């Protein structure tokens, strides 16, 4: 049975609350491009009323069609809206984030805006976890000198891949040689974010990436992405099935003794089967 180490008085499955103004400020600093008033009104109209033509947008906003077309096409070039039918446009995931960054949507509305495009509910991702993920994603994308426009994040798997690649790279370069000790504080310091926000952001990313890149191993308690080094199965990313396991918040689950035992058993079984096949091959 997978035991849970809980900290008294804390629900480890609950993400910390992130104030809207804090995250919005982060998004508007070298991430979300400045948008003109008509562009923001166009985005809002598409969110509130759903997919529509630019002609319909012009009527709702009481502007000329030429203006609606000009700003609509600019939004499409920025990938903030997408064409979902002939001449029919809808807000993209990037458009939802832009609306939130400009304080037109609050956090709950951002969740609702993203839900049709990102499988948040089916993956069990709550509002605070989403905000943690976006915070982590923004910091990582900025480190790569990218922004909302040129970063590939329209699909949830694309957004999750940015975070997943960053995490696995740091774990491979710094975590393995140190026995995964202090990996969470190390990454937290790199990103300049609270450790709980970092861990929750990574957990969301690992959920998202599993549809794109299946885990190397599935055990009774973990989904594991691993590589082989010197005949040893070395985990570089783990998603613990127990949301209340404090070891996940201490080392991203990488130092979990249960995981270590599971991986040892897998290697022993592989070695045993290999030796058995060799023996059978030598029989007359």
Give the pLDDT confidence of 183-238 residue by residue, as tens digits. Answer: 888 899 999 998 889 989 998 998 888 878 888 888 888 888 877 776 666 777 78
Q: What residue numbers bound the domain in which 276 lies?
A: 217-282
Which residue, 209, 237, 262, sits at the end of a domain? 209
Distance (Å, rounded) from C-alpha 206 to C-alpha 192? 21
Quick one: 171 and 242 in the same domain?
no
Is there a single domain that holds both residue 237 and residue 108?
no
User: Which CATH number is 126's domain given?
Assistant: 1.10.10
Mutual orientation of helices 156-170 and 195-209 as an angle, nearest 10°? 120
67 and 111 fall within a common domain? yes
| Overall domain count for the chain | 2
5 belongs to a structural domain: no
Q: Is residue 250 part of a domain?
A: yes
Q: What is the pLDDT of residue 3?
A: 38
Asked if 34 and 115 sit in the same domain, the reply is yes
pLDDT tens track, the chain, 284 positions: 433 333 333 343 445 578 888 899 999 998 999 999 999 999 999 999 999 999 999 999 999 999 999 999 999 999 999 999 999 999 999 999 999 999 999 999 999 999 999 999 999 899 999 999 999 999 999 999 999 999 999 899 999 999 989 988 888 888 777 777 788 888 999 999 988 899 899 989 988 888 788 888 888 888 888 777 766 667 777 888 777 777 777 778 787 888 878 877 877 776 566 555 555 455 45
- Same-domain status, 195 and 268: no
CA distance 252 to 255: 8
Give domain status of residue 15, yes or no: no
Boundary residue ending a domain (186, 209, 232): 209
> Could you tell me which residues come within 8 angstroms of residue 27 by beta carbon, excluding any fewer than 6 positions away?
97, 100, 101, 134, 138, 148
Within the chain, what is the greatest distance between any pair of CA atoms?
Answer: 89
Q: Are residues 53 and 176 in the same domain?
A: yes
Is 6 a member of any domain? no
Shared domain for 191 and 232, answered yes or no, is no
Regarding whether 139 and 66 lie in a shared domain, the answer is yes
Q: Which of 171, 188, 209 is the last residue of a domain?
A: 209
Pairing of strands 88-91, 81-85: antiparallel
| Same domain membership, residue 183 and residue 91 | yes
Q: Is residue 183 part of a domain?
A: yes
For residue 109, being part of any structural domain is answered with: yes
What is the sign, positive or negative, of the torsion defined by CA atoms of 162, 182, 256, 260?
Answer: positive
């Amino acid at each position: 049975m997978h035991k849970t180490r809980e900290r008294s008085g804390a629900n480890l499955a609950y993400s910390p609350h992130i104030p809207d103004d804090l995250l919005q400020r982060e998004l508007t600093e070298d991430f979300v491009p400045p948008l003109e008033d008509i562009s923001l009104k166009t985005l809002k109209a598409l969110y509130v009323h759903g997919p529509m033509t630019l002609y319909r947008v012009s009527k709702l906003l009481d502007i000329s069609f030429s203006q609606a077309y000009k700003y609509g096409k600019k939004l499409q070039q920025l990938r903030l809206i997408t064409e979902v039918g002939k001449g029919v446009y809808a807000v993209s995931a990037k458009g939802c984030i832009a609306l939130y960054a400009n304080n037109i949507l609050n956090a709950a509305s951002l969740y609702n805006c993203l839900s049709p495009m990102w499988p948040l509910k089916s993956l069990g991702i709550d509002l605070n976890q989403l905000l943690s993920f976006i915070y982590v994603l923004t910091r990582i994308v900025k480190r790569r000198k990218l922004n909302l426009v040129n970063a590939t994040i329209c699909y949830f798997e694309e957004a999750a891949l940015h975070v997943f690649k960053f995490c696995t790279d740091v774990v491979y370069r710094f975590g393995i040689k140190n026995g995964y000790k202090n990996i969470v504080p190390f990454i937290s310091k790199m990103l300049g974010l609270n450790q709980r926000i970092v861990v929750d952001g990574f957990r969301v990313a690992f959920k998202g990436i599993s549809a794109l890149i299946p885990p190397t191993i599935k055990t009774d308690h973990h989904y594991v992405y691993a590589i082989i080094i010197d005949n040893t199965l070395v985990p570089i990313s783990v998603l613990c099935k127990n949301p209340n396991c404090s070891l996940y918040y201490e080392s991203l689950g990488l130092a979990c003794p249960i995981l270590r035992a599971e991986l040892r058993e897998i290697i022993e079984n592989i070695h045993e089967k290999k030796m058995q096949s060799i023996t059978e091959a030598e029989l007359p």
